[in-house]
Amino acid sequence: MSAQRVLVVDDEPQIVRGLKVILRDAGYDVETAQNKEAALAALSVRPPDAVVLDLVLPDGSGVEVCQEVRSWSQLPILVLSAVGDEREKVRALDAGADDYVTKPFGTEELLARLRSVLRRGEQDGAEPKVSVGDLEIDLAGRSVRRDGAEVHLTPIEFDLLRVLATHRGKLVTHRQLLHEVWGPGYETETHYLRVHFAHIRSKLEPEPSQPRYLITEPGIGYRLREQS
Amino acid sequence: MAAATGLVALLDKVAPIAGLGVVYMLAVLLIAIRRGELAALATAGFSVLALNYFFIEPRHRLTISDSENVVALAVLLIAAIVVGRLAATARARAREAEERARLTAAREREAAILAEAASAVLAAGDLETQLDNLAASVTASTSEALRVELTAAPPEDRDGELVPLASRQRPGWIWAAPRSGWARDDLERMAEPLGRLIDIAHEHERISSRFAESEATRRADAAKTALLHAISHDLRSPLTAITTAAGGLRGGTISEADRRELLSVIDDESDRLARLVDDLLDVSRIQAGAVNPRTDWCDLSDLTASAAAGVRARLGDHPVEFDLPADLPLVQADAAQLERVFSNLLENAIRFSPEDEPVRISGGTGGGKVIVRVTDQGRGIAAPRQAEVFEPFVGGRDGHAGSGLGLAICRGLVEANGGTIRLQSTPGLGTSFAVALPLSPQPAPAR
């Protein structure tokens, strides 16, 4: 099996230089593009396995690249963004980006996020069971065990956990969660999430006030941690 | 006239005709004093006719038989005219004097009112207060006889006199209650200086706001200079550490341990730089009023937990005690910004805490607010410094690794989200920061 190919889209040569070394060292083939136009050209000619995409490009926004790509492909997109740019992050995620890392990022964090978006590209929630720490989530049988003991979740609580588990390790936005669990028309009722997550945590977390599994990304969404 | 004719008829039997003319003179004199010169002249004419008609032979005719009587009548007429004239002049003089006295009294009265009004305008306060004071002082100093109204349209349904004020800055009216002793021309005299006073109040406001502006600019400039100075120092030290470490890595003979050491210097110092840049960005957003919170329902328990997880990942597992009530209401705020606030507060608290003394997160509701406190058991902040810790580059300059901007950012972000931040500190016992956010009506329960 040949190495997975990653397209890095960033206009800052020093960052591209560093990313190339890091990604090659981790076993990926790396291609680069310096602006939106070059990125879209490279994507359509020979689609890579994943894209690492800066949100601020000289000829446009990474959000536009996400929208464009999503109109014809589900290939995984990992976005690079700056602190305090929650609005842009959410726009990119809602436009189809799979996750983000905040600049400046650590190598480990970047590679972990890239692995989890690539895995989603391969499997897309097809696993029947997901286990994290001492939690075991049976997606097909709709049951959860903690330390081997069955935990009772309400149907909505289980659905929320199911969405996070199928996208394990990956950030799921408020909007996505509300849309998938409650359906169209509920995308802005974020307070539903606060209440239900408080309940799920009290049932699944060893210490609900310091969650280990269900991680809040303030103002953006939630993720199910991969390893605890 | 009739009275004079009656009197002459009585005296006719005992006195000569020339003496009787004097009685008519009396009438002319009285009329002149009462009614003025024209009336006196007419009276003189009628007196001569009446004397001729009733008392001079042939009686009941306007003809005169005796030429001596003609002379007497002519003398009477001339005398009457002269007396009438004199009396009328005296009367006019008296009137003038009276009018002058009245005017003087009116001027004095007006001067007193204007002096009160002027001191009302000069008293401290903003423009609206000064104008309110002016109106109130006019009402008070005239026992409510006069009223100043600063409205664009004339006040409606008012009896009494109403005159526009002569102000270039703002329309206004002076009104006198009916039968208050204030005539229209009195009001017209008052309208001019009162209008000027209003203009002066406006001018005063304009000058003092310009002064405040330039003072604020001067202070902002001074703050910026201090900020730039501090930043260049704070940017330079991590940069120096990084270049030094990179240079060290080039050396051909360094051990693996040294290599790791130098790499972690680069990592740590880059982190410090990155956080300083983020903080500066936040400060400039706050100062430019460009914080723009993305408001949504926030669960403060969730936010403080996520902030604590982040800080503990950076600073090591310092104990944090969570003591927030389970039913703490949701607040309307920007979650990411509040998380930055709690991260900064927790980071400060942990840095200032003795090892293993837990930092406590507590809270509740009260006074229409949802309050979260971050409390440490550190050495506390002395009272004189408590006010200034929220100023950029003052709070964190105690030799620890913070940028000195953390608390300034906390205050800016909390205030942008409609809240307040306060600190309570007892030197030797610890410090508690309280973030209070408005309590909103809670959303409909989740489905």
CA separation for the pair B403, B227 (Å, rounded)? 11
Query: Tokens 């006198």 belong to which residue?
Result: B176
Alpha carbon distances (Å) from B359 to B310, B312, B374, B401: 15, 11, 7, 19
More confident residue, B275 or A154: A154
Residue A138: helix, strand or coil by DSSP? strand
Coil, strand or helix: which one is A25? helix
Q: Is A185 exposed, middle or buried (0-12, 13-18, 19+ CB in 10 A)?
A: exposed
Q: B345: which residues sit within 8 A by CB, 6+ positions away?
A: B374, B410, B433, B435
Q: Which of A86, A182, A198 sits opposite B299 (nearest CB)?
A: A198
Return the closest-CA partner of residue B409 out of B361, B347, B358, B351.
B347
- The percent of residues in chain A predicted with pLDDT above 90, rounded, is 54
Under DSSP, the state recorded for A228 is -
Q: Searching chain A, which residue's CA lies closest to the CA of residue B447?
A: A192
**B156 exposure class (CB count in 10 Å sphere: 0-12, 13-18, 19+):** exposed
pLDDT per residue as tens digits for the range A54-101: 998 999 899 999 999 998 888 999 999 876 677 888 889 989 899 999
* CA B424 vs CA B358, B396, B408: distances in Å: 18, 17, 16
Most trustworthy range by pLDDT among A27-36, A127-136, B127-136, B196-205? A27-36
Give residue B400's pLDDT.
47
Per-residue model confidence (pLDDT) at position B8: 65
Residue A58: cis peptide before it, omega within 30 degrees of 0? no
Q: In chain A, what residues touch B271 (CB-CB under 8 Å)?
A: 104
CA distances for B57 relative to A147, B6, B42, B52, B79, angstroms: 153, 18, 23, 8, 22
What confidence score (pLDDT) does residue A164 get?
Answer: 92
> Which of A228 and B92 is assigned the larger pLDDT?
B92
Of residues B424, B384, B423, the one with CA closest to residue B407:
B423
For B189, other C-beta atoms within 10 Å of its C-beta total 16
CA–CA separation, B296 vs B307, rounded Å?
Answer: 18
Tens of pLDDT along chain B (447 residues) come to 666 667 666 666 665 655 667 777 777 778 777 777 777 778 878 877 877 787 777 777 777 767 777 777 787 778 778 877 887 788 888 889 998 998 888 888 888 888 888 888 877 678 888 888 888 888 888 888 888 888 888 887 778 888 888 888 888 888 888 888 888 888 888 888 888 888 888 888 888 888 888 888 888 787 777 777 777 777 888 888 898 888 888 877 888 888 899 998 998 889 888 888 888 888 888 888 888 898 999 999 999 999 999 898 888 889 999 999 988 999 999 999 999 999 999 999 998 899 889 999 999 999 999 999 999 998 888 888 887 888 876 544 444 455 678 898 999 999 999 999 999 988 888 999 999 999 999 988 777
Round to whole Å and give the CA distance between B391 and B287: 12
- Does the pLDDT of residue A9 top 90, yes or no? yes
Rounded to the nearest 10 degrees, the angle between the axes of helix B184-250 and helix B127-141 is 160
Helix axes B17-35, B2-11, angle to 10 degrees: 160
pLDDT at position A228 over 50: no
Contact criterion met (CB < 8 Å) for B336 and A198: no
d(CA B49, CA B27): 14
Give the pLDDT of residue B397. Answer: 42
Of A84, A156, A218, the CB nearest to B281: A84
The string of pLDDT tens digits covering residues A182-220 is: 999 888 888 999 889 999 999 999 988 889 999 999 989
ipTM of the complex: 0.80
Q: Does A191 contact B270 at a Cβ distance shorter than 8 Å?
A: no
Strands (E), chain A: 5-9, 29-33, 50-54, 56-57, 60-61, 77-82, 99-103, 129-132, 135-138, 143-146, 149-151, 172-173, 214-217, 221-224
Phi/psi of residue A132, nearest 5 degrees: -135, 120
Residue of A nearest to B283 (CA): A84
Beta-carbon count within 10 A of B143 CB: 9
SS (H, E, C) chain B: CHHHHHHHHHHCCCCCHHHHHHHHHHHHHHHHHHHCHHHHHHHHHHHHHHHHHHHCCCCCCCCCCCHHHHHHHHHHHHHHHHHHHHHHHHHHHHHHHHHHHHHHHHHHHHHHHHHHHHHHHHCCCCHHHHHHHHHHHHHHHCCCCEEEECCCCCCCCCCCEEEECCCCCCCCEEEECCCCCCCHHHHHHHHHHHHHHHHHHHHHHHHHHHHHHHHHHHHHHHHHHHHHHHHHHHHHHHHHHHHHHHHHHHCCCCCHHHHHHHHHHHHHHHHHHHHHHHHHHHHHHHHCCCCCCCCEEECHHHHHHHHHHHHHHHHCCCCEEEECCCCCCCEEECHHHHHHHHHHHHHHHHHHCCCCCCEEEEEEEECCEEEEEEEECCCCCCHHHHCHHHCCCCCCCCCCCCCCCHHHHHHHHHHHCCCEEEEEEECCCEEEEEEEEECCCCCCCCC
Q: Which of A56, A196, A209 to mutate to test the interface with B (most CBs of B within 10 A)?
A: A209
Measured CB to CB, residues of chain B less than 8 Å from chain A are 267, 270-271, 274, 278, 281-282, 285, 294, 296-299, 301-303, 305-306, 308-309, 320, 322, 324, 326, 330, 334-339, 443, 445-447
When CB atoms are compared, the residue of A182, A217, A218 closest to B447 is: A182
Q: Which residue of A has its CA nearest to B306?
A: A216
Helices (H) and strands (E) in chain A, counts: 8, 14
Dist. CA B121–CA B148, nearest whole Å: 13
